[in-house]
Homo-oligomer: A and B are copies of this chain.
Amino acid sequence: MISQEKNSGSAATPDVPVKIDRAHPVTLREVAEAAGVSTATVSLVINKKKNARIAEETRERVKDAIRHLGYRPNAMAKNLVSGTSKFIGLVADGVATTPFAGQIIHGAQDEAWKHGYALLIANTEGNLDLEKDAIAMMLEYKVRGILYSTWFHRPTDVPETLRESDFVLVNCFSPDSSTSRAVVPDEAQGGQSATEILLRGGHRRIAFINTTTPAPAKDGRLKGYQDALEAAGIPFDPSLVLEAYPDQEGGYGATEELLKRNVSAVYCYNDRMAMGLYDGLRENGLSIPDDIAVVGFDNQEVIAAHLRPPLSTVSLPHYELGAAGVRMLLGLDKSPDGNLVKISCPAVERASVAVHSAA
Q: Which residues of A contact B (CB under 8 A)?
A: 20, 22, 70, 72-77, 79-80, 85-86, 95-99, 101-103, 105-106, 109, 113, 118-123, 125, 130, 133-134, 136-137, 139-142, 163-166, 247-249, 252, 272, 275-276, 279, 282, 300-303, 306, 308, 319
For A134, the chain B residues whose CB sits under 8 A away are 118
For A163, the chain B residues whose CB sits under 8 A away are 20, 22
User: Could you tell me the distance between the alpha carbons of A357 and B156 in the complex, rounded to whole angstroms?
Assistant: 52
User: Could you tell me the distance between the alpha carbons of A268 and B137 in the complex, rounded to whole angstroms?
Assistant: 44
For A140, the chain B residues whose CB sits under 8 A away are 72-76
Closest to A21 in B: B164
Are B272 and A22 within 8 A (Cβ)? Answer: no
For A98, the chain B residues whose CB sits under 8 A away are 99, 102, 301
User: Could you tell me the distance between the alpha carbons of A97 and B76 in the complex, rounded to whole angstroms?
Assistant: 32
- A31 CB to nearest B CB, Å: 15
- A84 CB to nearest B CB, Å: 10
Are B85 and A95 within 8 A (Cβ)? Answer: no
Interface pairs A-B: 7 shortest CB-CB? A96-B106, A75-B140, A76-B76, A248-B306, A121-B121, A96-B102, A95-B102
For A76, the chain B residues whose CB sits under 8 A away are 76-77, 79-80, 85, 140-142
Copies of this protein, total: 2
User: Could you tell me the distance between the alpha carbons of A265 and B105 in the complex, rounded to whole angstroms?
Assistant: 41
For A166, the chain B residues whose CB sits under 8 A away are 22
- A306 CB to nearest B CB, Å: 4
Q: Which of B75, B105, B121 contacts A137 (CB 8 A)?
A: B75
For A79, the chain B residues whose CB sits under 8 A away are 76
For A248, the chain B residues whose CB sits under 8 A away are 306, 308
- A119 CB to nearest B CB, Å: 7
- A251 CB to nearest B CB, Å: 10
For A74, the chain B residues whose CB sits under 8 A away are 80, 140, 142
Q: Which of B22, B113, B279 contacts A308 (CB 8 A)?
A: B279
**15 A/B residue pairs, CB under 8 Å, sorted by A:** A20-B163, A76-B77, A76-B140, A96-B103, A96-B106, A96-B319, A98-B99, A99-B99, A105-B121, A106-B125, A109-B123, A118-B137, A272-B302, A275-B306, A303-B303
Are A77 and B75 within 8 A (Cβ)? Answer: no
User: Could you tell me the distance between the alpha carbons of A72 and B150 in the complex, rounded to whole angstroms?
Assistant: 26
User: Could you tell me the distance between the alpha carbons of A80 and B79 in the complex, rounded to whole angstroms?
Assistant: 12
User: Could you tell me the distance between the alpha carbons of A272 and B303 in the complex, rounded to whole angstroms?
Assistant: 9
